[in-house]
Every structure is written in C-alpha cells, then in structure tokens.
A and B are shown apart, each in its own frame.
Chain A
C-alpha cells in the first residue's frame, strides 16, 4: 500500500532513465514515455479512490519516521491534484508526439518531460519543506530545458528572464527554509504545525509572508507576474500548455499547503484578498490589450491565479475547498485552451488575431473544441469554471468579503470580453488567405480528450466539490494533518 504512494515519482524517474538508454530509437522513446504517463495516471487515480476511502498514505522514506526522516504524504489534496496533473501530462504528451515538426526531435525530450512529471509528483507528495524545494528545482530545471531547447534568435534572451526569475525565487525559498529551520529546528511540515505555534507573532508572520512571496513568484501573483506573459508564449505549444496548466498551479498548491497548515488565520486575510483582487483585474486587463492568442491566454493565467488566492484568503473550509476545485478546473481548461490555440496556429500558420479569420467556417471542429473551454474559463454554466466560481462566491459571502467577490465578478465579465475578442477575431468572419494546413489526428484527439475531461469535471461537479471539502477539512482541522503523518514507520 505504502509503496503505491512512491510510484508517481518512481515511474517517471525510471522512464526518464530508460528513454536515455534507448535514445537511438524515437519509437522506443515514445513507447516508454507514453506508457509511463499512462501508468502514472492509473496509479494516481487508484490513489485518488484509495486515499478517500482509507485515509492518507504516509511513507517514511528510508524507514526513518517523521520528523527525523523525509515523509511522503499522499493526502486528499495531494492525490486530487496528482490525478488531475497526470491527465494533463498524458494528453499534452500525446499532442507533442503527434505534431508534424515534433519537439521530440530534440534528443532527450522524453527524458526531460518525465523528469518534469517526477518533479510535479514529488512537489505534491512531499511532507517536508526542504524536499519541496528540491522538487521545485527538479520541475523548474526540466522546464528551463523545455522552454529554451527550440528557442532561436531573440527567444533565448527572453527565456533567460524566466530562468533568472526562477533562480532568484529558489534562493529566496532556500532562505525562508533556512530561517524557519533556525527558529524551529525542523523542516517537516507536520512537525512545524506545532513548533511554529511557539514562535513570536511578528517573526512568525514574517516567515509566513516570505513563503507566500516566494510561492507567489512561482504562481505569478500581482505584482510578481511580469515574467510570465513574456516567456510562456515563446515555447512550442505543448510545452506552453503544460506550463500554463501545471507549473503556476503547483505554486498555488504550495501556497495552500503552507498557509493553511503552518500559518493558519482565524478569519479572512485582507492583504491576501487585496493581492487576489489586483491579480484578477491586472491580469485580465493585460489580456484585453494583447493581439495574439497565446499572449491573451498567458495573461489569463495570471488573472485566474487571483481567484485561487481569493479562495485561500478567506481562510474557511468552504474558501479553501473552492480554491482547490478552481485549481483542478484550471489545470485542465488552461492546458486545453493552449492546445486549441496550437491547433489554430498549426492549421492557419499564425496565432495573431488580425491575421486569422473565419476558422469556424473552415475548420468547425477547432471552433467546437475552443468554445467549451473558453466558456468554462469565463465561468458560464454548466461548464467547470462556473462550478469553481460559484463555490468561491458562496465562500466569499460566507465570510462577508463583498468587495473582493464583486471584483472577481467584474474580472469574469472582462474575461468574457477578451474571449469574445479571440472568438470574433479568429473564428468568425470570412475565411481569407490560403487553405488551412492539415492537422494530424493525434493532436486533435489529444485536445478533444482534454476538452472532454473539462466537461467531465462539470458533470462530476458534486463529487468533486465534496472531495475538495474533505481535503480542505484535512488541512484546516486542528492537528488532523499532524496526526496523519507523525509516528508512521516505514
């Protein structure tokens, strides 16, 4: 049972090593990569069901029980995001493999991809702050390579911004961990939930905000988001889709994990809600000003992060649960929107709104894939975005934070506006110019299955919301997490 919780990390690591061995044969690399992703997804879904029935799975790595050793903690929050990210990883990999000028022509694409998957899994499963840092480094180093491997000309320089920001954030994370260790003498999260209580208030909130800022850089909150819209659109479509869907959300996950467990608050945190509101509004205004599909969508990543921070800022079970639902919805919907954007680019040759017209008439199936995801992002019922936003608004009313809820609704209206800009510019109108290029079937199938996953989230909204609520109770309950982790021997 406990070995199952290590598999989401071990499978991709083993696959990364194996693809390097068979580097001569692209087909062998593909088979290994895709089967590893399928296996990881199967394990994650099995854990999703199992953890909900039997409670969290805790693994003491190397047989040293927490807090002396490193603990892997597969609780409800971790496995829910693990399963969601496994779905996104598999769909994006199939899309990448089916492209005509493939990204995998680069030596070692599959190895780097699986390393990224391992980093994501480790970040979600670890119960130890320092291992969280290591997981972030594994994930980010893989992302540096994926972002820059095809960059040419001025792109390398722009991608360097991303690497430099990543390094600064990592150094600050390390500093925060060092200071926390100096104060408490432990880096185990379950142990810290108790030991941080003894820390004087000012010092404690200083550490809390330092961690919030570090993960805020990774999650791209206002005012630390400026690197994201410049670097993400540079990458090839599957890589951008993966970054958009996963990487920033792992930052949000780390925020939810650390803030609820280590720095709990009795009521809504005003500063967090202010940051959330500004992130939503500035992100969506940035999106409105853009003229390229990928750049518009990149600014929307920033805007949507604000919703998650809002849910966290309420500091109630309902708020945190709504934030978790919103993260799940965003991982799927954001990745599928970028994949659709990539479909437009590869069939029309460009993603500039002014240059493309009438895709709805020429390739109606691309329009059919775009519509549900765009409506979901904007929060129309019955799509998954509506479920997340409704839960957030209800949680906001529950604590009486009327202003930020109002701001979030304004941001939603502006989201609709910028989605209609893509729809009106790209999909409507008379087709102009040359005939569309053919799009490979694998890309279409991968995109369609991710869009379908978004629709499934909407259909299964009730179980999802209930699951997220149980996950939030695990986080918010006094001592619940600690009791799960402590005293488990390997």
Chain B
C-alpha cells in the first residue's frame, strides 16, 4: 500500500470519527461518508502497486495490476451511496418531525440522571 493512500485513509478515518461524535445529525452523516471513503481507499490500496491494465493478450505475460480490488471498491461505493441516501431521507424526516437536527441524550441516561438529582 502506498504511503499516500495509507495517510489519506488515516486522515479520512480521523476526521470522520470526529464528525460522527458530534451532536448534529448532518455532521454525523458527513462523518459516516468520510469513514466509508477511508475504508474504500484501504480496499483500493490493498491490490499492490499500479501496473499495466489487466488485459491479457495472446503472447504477453507482463505484470498487470489487480482488477479484483477495483471491482470490490465499485461495489462498496454503490452500497455506501444507497445507504447514505436512505440515511439522509431519514434525517430529513426526523428534522421535519422535530424541527431540530440535534441528537438527544439517551432516554435511559436522562432517566437515571433525574433519579440521581432527585436524591
């Protein structure tokens, strides 16, 4: 795996994780997108060095690049795209229902916190 790809994947995972831990749902969704991109980059980098196109003609047996991981990445991108669209639709519905984009605290946590305060 080349250094560029490895460092880029690390940056994407880092910023993505930071965004997922935020309070606003829109930021969480962007963060998830970044994490997914990081994963895709790792997958893309897993195939070894870039080389000739993977077309084997009669009589040539040179070093050609690995086509499999590119097929895998394409599949993964399509899946991520679909689920992100679904997630955005859900976030929009939640926004129209509640009028805010904030992720609330866990109901159980709030119940316990109230019980502690009352004591």
Binding site for B on A (CB under 8 A): 130, 133-134, 137, 141, 144-145, 148, 152-154, 156-160, 163-164, 167-168, 170-172, 174-175, 177-179, 181-182, 185, 187, 230
Number of interface residues of B (CB under 8 A): 37
* Cβ–Cβ contact B38 & A164, under 8 A: no
Q: How far is the CA of A159 from the CA of B43 in the complex (A)?
A: 29
Known: A178-B43, A179-B42. A171 touches B35 (CB 8 A): yes
* Cβ–Cβ contact A181 & B46, under 8 A: yes
User: B41's closest neighbor in chain A, by CB?
Assistant: A178
* Cβ–Cβ contact A171 & B38, under 8 A: yes
Cβ-neighbour of A174 out of B32, B39, B106 (below 8 A): B39
In B1-34, the 8 Å CB interface with A consists of 1, 20, 25, 28, 32
Known: A141-B82, A164-B32. A179 touches B46 (CB 8 A): yes
Residues in B whose Cβ lies below 8 Å from that of A152 = 97
Minimum C-beta distance from A440 to chain B (A):
30
* Cβ–Cβ contact B43 & A167, under 8 A: no
User: A152's closest neighbor in chain B, by CB?
Assistant: B97
Task: Give chain A's interface secondary structure class.
Answer: helix
Residues in B whose Cβ lies below 8 Å from that of A156 = 90, 93-94, 97
A-B Cβ contacts below 8 A, count: 98
Cβ-neighbour of A181 out of B20, B28, B43, B90 (below 8 A): B43
Contact sample, A vs B, 7 pairs, CB 8 Å cutoff? A167-B35, A170-B36, A171-B35, A175-B42, A178-B69, A181-B72, A187-B68
User: A134's closest neighbor in chain B, by CB?
Assistant: B75
User: B28's closest neighbor in chain A, by CB?
Assistant: A164
* Cβ–Cβ contact B90 & A159, under 8 A: yes
Minimum C-beta distance from B54 to chain A (A):
13
Residues in B whose Cβ lies below 8 Å from that of A230 = 106-108
* Best-buried of B38, B43, B107 by chain A (most CB within 10 Å): B43
Q: How far is the CA of A134 from the CA of B71 in the complex (A)?
A: 13
Minimum C-beta distance from B56 to chain A (A):
13
